[in-house]
Each structure stands twice: as C-alpha cells, then as structure tokens.
Amino acid sequence: MSTETEKAPADAPHSSFGEASSRRHWLDHVPRTTAVLAIVAAVSSGQYANQFSRTILAQAEASDQWSFYQAKSIKRHLVNSQIEMLQALSKTRPEAAPELAKLEESDRGMVRKYETELAAAKVTADAMVADKDKHQKQGDRFQLAFIILQAGVVLSTIAASAKRKELWFLAIACGLLGLVVVLDGYLLWK
C-alpha cells in the first residue's frame, strides 16, 4: 500500500533542508556571478581598447611635436652658423663691417625667436608625452583587470560544473580584485 505522504528519496533535487538544498542555493548564484564578471570584463576590455587608441594618437602627436622642435633647433643652428660666417666676413672685409653688423643683429633676433619657440615646443612635447604615458598606464590597468576578470569567469564556470564552492569563492575574489583594478584605471583620469 502506497500513500502520497511518503518521503521523497534522499537524492531528490528539491529536498527541504540539508546538503542538496545548500549546494543548490550557491549553485543558483554561480550563473549570475559569471554574468556580472563577464559584463565588467567587457567594460574593462572596451576601456583598454579606448586607451590603446588614445595612446597611439598621443604618441603620434608627441612625435610630431618633437619633429617640430627638431626643425626649429636645426634652423637655430643654421642661423648661428650664418652669424659666425658674418663675423668672419667682417674681419676680412672691414669696409662691409657696418652692413654685416646689421645682418648679424637681425640674425641674433632670429636666434632669440627660435630659442623662445624651442622652449615652448619642448613644454608642449613633454606634456604630450605625459598624456601618452597616462593613457598607456590606464590601458595597462584595464588590460590587467580584463585578465583577472576572465580568470574569474573561468573559475566560476568550473565551480558550477565541478560543484566546487571554493572555486566560486575564488571567482568572486577575482571579480572584486578586477573591479578594484578597473576603478584604479578610472581614477587615473583625474
């Protein structure tokens, strides 16, 4: 004689209390954990790509500015050489010395102009290099966060399939660490 009030077998999927119930409880959260880790990893990956692009652009701008600096430096050296040539000419041609002195003074004005432009170009180039370094550092942070978060996704997936709660906790730890590294990357913008 069988009644409907008989007990369910011990390995039933929905026992009221006990090991199966507590195992099911944490296993229900693993997919959510995996999804959150994957979303934060995607954000981190996008920011890495963004910072990588900005790094390349800033490097190109800095290279252009250093080329400008170099061109101004070359012009300054050419004018300095011209001044030396004018001085030598005025010694060998004393009758032309007054005219050569006027040219020399004009060239000295050009040298002062180039020196001012060189100083400004150097400041600008140094700022561009600093900007490039900042974007590169931010990109490195986002890339590191992505790696940590992907490790968390993998650990979370393995935890679910192997039913190993300690791996799930490790995945959560990876997620928290990855989130801290992402936030650090954003804080570098300030």
Q: For 29-68, how does the pLDDT look when each residue is reduced to its tens digit (9 = 90+)?
A: 899 999 999 999 999 999 999 999 999 999 999 999 999 9
pLDDT at 27: 84
Asked if 154 and 95 touch (Cβ cutoff 8 Å), the reply is no
Cβ–Cβ under 8 Å, residues 44 and 178: yes
How many domains does the chain divide into? 1
Of 114, 51, 56, 55, nearest to 80 by C-alpha is 114
Cα three-residue angle 97-99-104, rounded to 5 degrees: 85
pLDDT confidence tier of residue 137, bands split at 50, 70 and 90: very high
In a domain, 69, yes or no: yes
pTM to 2 decimal places: 0.70
On whether the CB atoms of residues 158 and 71 are closer than 8 A, the answer is no
CA pair distance 28, 31, nearest whole angstrom: 7
- Looking at residue 130, its pLDDT comes to 94
User: Residue 1: inside a domain, yes or no?
Assistant: no
In this structure, is residue 10 part of a structural domain? no
Range of the domain at 92: 31-187
The answer to the question of residue 5 being in a domain is no
- Residue 114 included in any domain: yes
pLDDT at 15 (0 to 100) = 46
pLDDT in tens, 149-173: 999 999 999 999 999 999 999 999 9
How many CB atoms within 10 Å of residue 63?
14
Question: Does 21 fall in a domain?
Answer: no
The model's pLDDT over 82-132, given as tens digits with 9 standing for 90+, comes to 889 888 888 888 888 888 888 889 999 999 999 999 999 999 999 999 999
> Is position 93 within any domain?
yes
